[in-house]
Chains A and B, each alone.
Chain A
Amino acid sequence: QQQVKQSPQSLIVQKGGIPIINCAYENTAFDYFPWYQQFPGKGPALLIAIRPDVSEKKEGRFTISFNKSAKQFSLHIMDSQPGDSATYFCAASRPSGNTPLVFGKGTRLSVIA
């Protein structure tokens, strides 16, 4: 019930492409869904987060799509750049229930010029 399943494990796209990373969760009580970006040698950095009362949220080139009925959410990166090459993690939590973040296993993205 606490799992968050993330796919794909790795992804290679051309510069300017739109990589899509998908996550599925089991616990319907989760109500906070952030995405993190991690570069080698660094800790994860919060990119964007969504609550289940909206179906989409955009911040710059990053968009989260959320499907509550399917218990799925995804990250889209518009006009991807080589500098976006990193590992991306989705996560889920129920902060009001004192539930810590449960992370997906991560997606290693490579954007090639």
Chain B
Amino acid sequence: KAGVTQTPRYLIKTRGQQVTLSCSPISGHRSVSWYQQTPGQGLQFLFEYFSETQRNKGNFPGRFSGRQFSNSRSEMNVSTLELGDSALYLCASSLNQGPYGYTFGSGTRLTVV
């Protein structure tokens, strides 16, 4: 079966711009979680969506937001980009709410210049 698909794979944006990343979960998976991965901070939790509702949120500023659609696909948005937002953004899907059986996508590499 198809894995978790994240688009685009690579993105270069300028400071102050906004960006939208997309995640299509494994078919049948209803939960999507987003993580930011950087060399310095490692993997940090952004938020989790289940049945179109945000169920959990990490310690990131309000510039980071997300949503989930009725087909479980999810998007995350970062507004007013800063250089420090450069990172690999990973989404993970699971059958139900919570981290059991997380399957990660290959990520979107965002570079802010």
Query: CB within 8 Å of B: which residues of A?
Result: 32, 34, 36, 41-46, 89, 91, 93, 95, 98, 100-106
Contact = CB atoms under 8 A, between A and B. Distances in A.
B104 A44 contact: yes
Contacts of A46: 101-103
Nearest to B55: A98
Given A43-B106, A46-B101, A101 B42 contact: no
B99 interface: yes
Interface of B: 4, 33, 35, 42-45, 48, 55-56, 58, 90, 92, 97-107
B43 A103 contact: yes
Contact of A43 (B58, B97, B104): B104
A43 B107 contact: yes
Given A44-B90, A103-B35, 7 more contacts: A41-B106, A43-B107, A45-B104, A95-B100, A98-B56, A101-B43, A106-B42
A46 B106 CA distance: 13
A100 B43 contact: no
Nearest to B92: A43
A78 B44 CA distance: 29
Nearest to B3: A43
Nearest to B58: A100
Given A42-B106, A44-B43, A93 B56 contact: no
B98 to A, nearest CB: 4
